[in-house]
A = this chain, B = another copy of it.
Amino acid sequence: MSGNKTALVISAHAADFVWRAGGAIALHQGKGYEVTVACLSFGERGESAKLWKQGGMTLDRVKQARKEEAQNAAAALGVTDIRFLDLGDYPLRLDRGAQDQMVDIIREVQPNWMMSHSRWDPYNTDHMNTTQFALECRMIAQAWGHNPGQKVLGAPQLYLFEPHQTEQMGWKPNVFLDITPVWEKKRAAIECMQGQEHLWNFYTNVAENRGNHFRRNSGGMAGGRKAEYAEGFEMIFPQTVDELV
């Protein structure tokens, strides 16, 4: 049990954290981490096609519906701290005010690790801009002269979670996490995403296939671990260790 550890997941749109990091979130929450999920937007304009196809929809109604889905998904993952920055989407408004807001969250949470999107995404510039934003805010949170007196940030890893169409994004996972123990929670969270049912099976397939990668990289035919479901992540920063494994 790792008691008072914390983590921070920065999600461009309300649903991103579910598909891409739901397993990691539930797993660490279960290990005693307090995982904070920060949704920069609700994905209200760009990732709510199903709602907009209904009659009489308004931006506020879409935002409310997406918020509820995200809250339900977070609850399914055991998360109690989900925050909505309401920065608009397609495109996100990532200005100085948004930075200050995010730096405050980072310093409050003091995460052991952070998580965000891939570095490149030609399909969805909100995603790559969020990663850039996360790096920028991490840097500010480390500055002793930013709001002097606050506790400054250390040097948490930034994990990049799995984008859609990984190969187009130049995303290369260098760590696989066994999420078998929490798979049911992740699947339950996925099913909270009523507007994107076409992705349920997709991300179940991803989890199964990443499980294969976990087994293969932990020993393969000659003794790999029996992980059934896994998630992949790319670490931006080098690790510091006392033993090679």
Contact = CB atoms under 8 A, between A and B. Distances in A.
A35 to B, nearest CB: 11
Interface in A103-155: 112-113, 122-126, 132, 135-136, 139-140, 142-146, 148, 151-155
A52 B52 CA distance: 51
Interface string A163-179: 01111100111111110
A174 B132 CA distance: 20
Interface in A15-65: 24, 27-28, 31, 44-46, 48-49, 52-53, 57, 59, 62
A209 interface: yes
B238 A232 contact: yes
A173 to B, nearest CB: 6
A198 B232 CA distance: 20
Q: A59, A143, A153, A172 — which one has the most chain B CB atoms within 10 A of its CB?
A: A143
B143 A46 contact: yes
Nearest to A103: B90
Contacts of A52: 144-145, 148
A158 interface: yes
Contacts of A139: 46, 90-91, 123-126
Interface residues of A, number: 95
A135 B158 CA distance: 25
Contacts of A221: 49, 142, 144, 152
Interface string A223-243: 111010010110111111111
A126 B138 CA distance: 12
B148 A113 contact: no
Interface of A: 2, 7, 24, 27-28, 31, 44-46, 48-49, 52-53, 57, 59, 62, 89-91, 99, 112-113, 122-126, 132, 135-136, 139-140, 142-146, 148, 151-155, 157-159, 164-168, 171-178, 198-199, 201-202, 205-206, 208-209, 212-214, 216-225, 227, 230, 232-233, 235-245
25 contacts: A46-B139, A46-B145, A49-B144, A90-B140, A90-B142, A122-B236, A123-B216, A153-B222, A155-B222, A164-B216, A167-B173, A168-B237, A173-B238, A174-B238, A174-B239, A175-B238, A201-B208, A202-B212, A205-B206, A213-B238, A214-B240, A217-B237, A217-B238, A230-B240, A233-B244
